[in-house]
Structure 1
Amino acid sequence: MRRLAPAAQADLRLRVVAALESGQVKTYGQAAELFGVSERSVGTWWRAFRAGGRQALLAVVRQPRPGMGELLDSSARGAVLQAMRDYTPAEVGHGGVLWTRASVKALIKLVCGVSMTEQGVGKWLRRHGFTPQRPAR
């Protein structure tokens, strides 16, 4: 189901519920087999339809949760990226010559005063085009 576009997903839900409502199929199992979805999904869609009608089955554009997003604004992001280009971790007080998540975390704390987890730093780095590299042997 997730391979379908949101509009196609909504259409499938509506077809499954219409088949149940019209009596074309009698059970969730029959509907699941006929439409190639799971019984659990059929039951979820049927209950949603019974509680909220057709509107409950339509595709919903999800909004980001409030408070989620970048911890660093554009100027802070630019300052961190510039510092990563201009300095090595050793020059800013961390061992090594390569930027690691831990060293970038410390750099963000030093430059911006923002505390991030190493996992969050990893996501932030990927979001801005940095990927893990293997050392050349």
Structure 2
Amino acid sequence: MSDLVGDARTWSPDAQEAVRLLAVSALVEGRDRSEVAGLFRVSVRAVDNWWARWQEGGRDALLSRPRGRRTGEHQVLSEAEQAAVRQAVLEHIPCELGLSGQLWTRGLILIRNALGSGSLVVCE
């Protein structure tokens, strides 16, 4: 691939969406799938996937979707545990709970949650 274009995976979701729509538009106009892949510097497999998505769901199937986990998915702490951590951070400083330091860090919060209310001294 040309250094000028770069890796399409690094493009913004809007740019990726535009390429998908343009590629399918070229297929609708009768261009060959390998020609479209070369034109947009993507694999024939990607073009085939976009075509299948378009045939199944139309234009909406090619639009960008939110990336990453859904809010709340795969959370380590339950709602009650999250509330307890928030309350401890709001009401106490780390040394009052047996932790080193005067300020909360993510590491201290993680250690505090993992080990409970023991007399733990941590240095960061």
TM-score interval (norm. to shorter): 0.5 to 0.7
Q: Identity of counterpart residues, as a percentage?
A: 32
The normalised TM-score by structure 2 is 0.59
Instruction: Decide which of 85, 91, 95 is 1:76's aligned counterpart.
Output: 85
Letter in 1 for 2:16: Q
The normalised TM-score by structure 1 is 0.54
Match of 2:113 in 1: 108
The reply on whether 1:87 has 2:104 as its aligned counterpart is no
Q: Cα deviations across residues 80-117 of structure 1 (Å, max 9, x unaligned)?
A: 895588436xxxxxxxxxxx9xx93xx534428xxxxx
Instruction: Decide which of 33, 37, 58 is 1:32's aligned counterpart.
Output: 37
Q: Give how far 1:61 is off.
A: 2.0
CA distance in 2, matches of 1:65, 1:31: 37
Aligned length in residues = 97
Matches within 5 A, 1:55-70: 55-62=60-67, 64=70, 67-69=73-75
CA distance in 1, matches of 2:87, 2:72: 24
**Any gaps of 5 or more consecutive residues in structure 1?**
89-99, 113-132
Q: Cα deviations across residues 1-53 of structure 1 (Å, max 9, x unaligned)?
A: 22111111111100000001101x212x2211110011111111000000001
**Any gaps of 5 or more consecutive residues in structure 2?**
1-7, 101-106, 118-123
Tell me how large the CA RMSD over aligned residues is. Answer: 3.3
* Alignment CA distance shift 1:61-1:87 (3 Å): closer
